[in-house]
Amino acid sequence: MVKFYNEQKNMKIKNYLYMIYISALIISNITANRIGVIGYLNVAGNPLAYILCFFICDLINEKFGEKAAKEVVNFGFISLCTILILLYSTYLIPALDSNFDNGFKLVFNNSARVVIASLCAYLISNHIDIKIFNFIRKRNNSRLLRKIGSTIISQFVDSLIFGLIAFYLIIPFNELKVIIISEYLVKFFINLIDTPLYYICIKKKNKSTKD
């Protein structure tokens, strides 16, 4: 009975993590073509939303294993593709108000390059994150090392792939370098800041494991 209760509780936690992950992923992609400024740094979209994806993915990897982590990443990719198909199919329906339609397209109509860049960067970087996370886990018992190490590397890959595919030859290369480096630095520092929260979440599950 206790075992069944624990399994049900773990399944509920897993489902909540999946929902948060997909929600953050959708927001990060909807906002991807908006260039923002944080201090002296230029960033594309909402880096906090994308950092949350890596955070949740690492939590799932730690608590439920590599298979579950890959599953949520693949679910996210399918969700993004489904949303894009449904979104662009909306344009097949004639608009009643052309002004509203122009505003709608201005908000949601990312260029094909940005869409492709988002999908490629997401799929490649998240699977790299999972691979590095488990590579470190097999060789070192530190939960914080595998969380920080995997995320730092995979986020650089993400920023590089997205920036090159989305903006190369569209904006000056010097400006592109600033965006890639700035976005990575923001993700890097957020990754360090959210590490204590990650440790608290994991500690509840694995009290007996040493760092």
For 109-125, how does the pLDDT look when each residue is reduced to its tens digit (9 = 90+)?
Answer: 666 777 888 889 989 99
Whether 211 is covered by a domain: the verdict is no
Give the CB-side neighbour count of residue 51, counting CA atoms within 13 A.
Answer: 22
Whether residue 133 contacts residue 146, with contact meaning beta carbons closer than 8 Å, is answered with yes
Euclidean distance between the first and the last CA atom of the chain, given in angstroms as a whole number:
32
Whether 210 is covered by a domain: the verdict is no
Here the tokens at position 76 are: 């996210």
So what's the pLDDT on residue 6? 66
Q: Which domain holds residue 168?
A: 2-205
Whether residue 59 contacts residue 20, with contact meaning beta carbons closer than 8 Å, is answered with no
Which of 63, 9, 68, 53 lies closest to 204 in space, CA to CA? 63
| pTM higher than 0.85 | no
So what's the pLDDT on residue 136? 93
Whether 91 is covered by a domain: the verdict is yes
Structural domains counted in the chain: 1
Q: How do residues 129-146 score in pLDDT, each as one tens digit? A: 999 999 999 988 888 889
Here the tokens at position 125 are: 């970087």
Distance CA 118, CA 116 (A): 5
So what's the pLDDT on residue 209? 41
Whether 151 is covered by a domain: the verdict is yes
So what's the pLDDT on residue 170? 82
Query: Which residues, given as ranges, of the chain have pLDDT below 50?
Result: 2, 4, 207-211
Phi then psi dihedrals of residue 41, to 5 deg: -105, 135
So what's the pLDDT on residue 205? 56
Whether 21 is covered by a domain: the verdict is yes
- Give the CATH number for residue 132: 1.10.1760
So what's the pLDDT on residue 37? 76
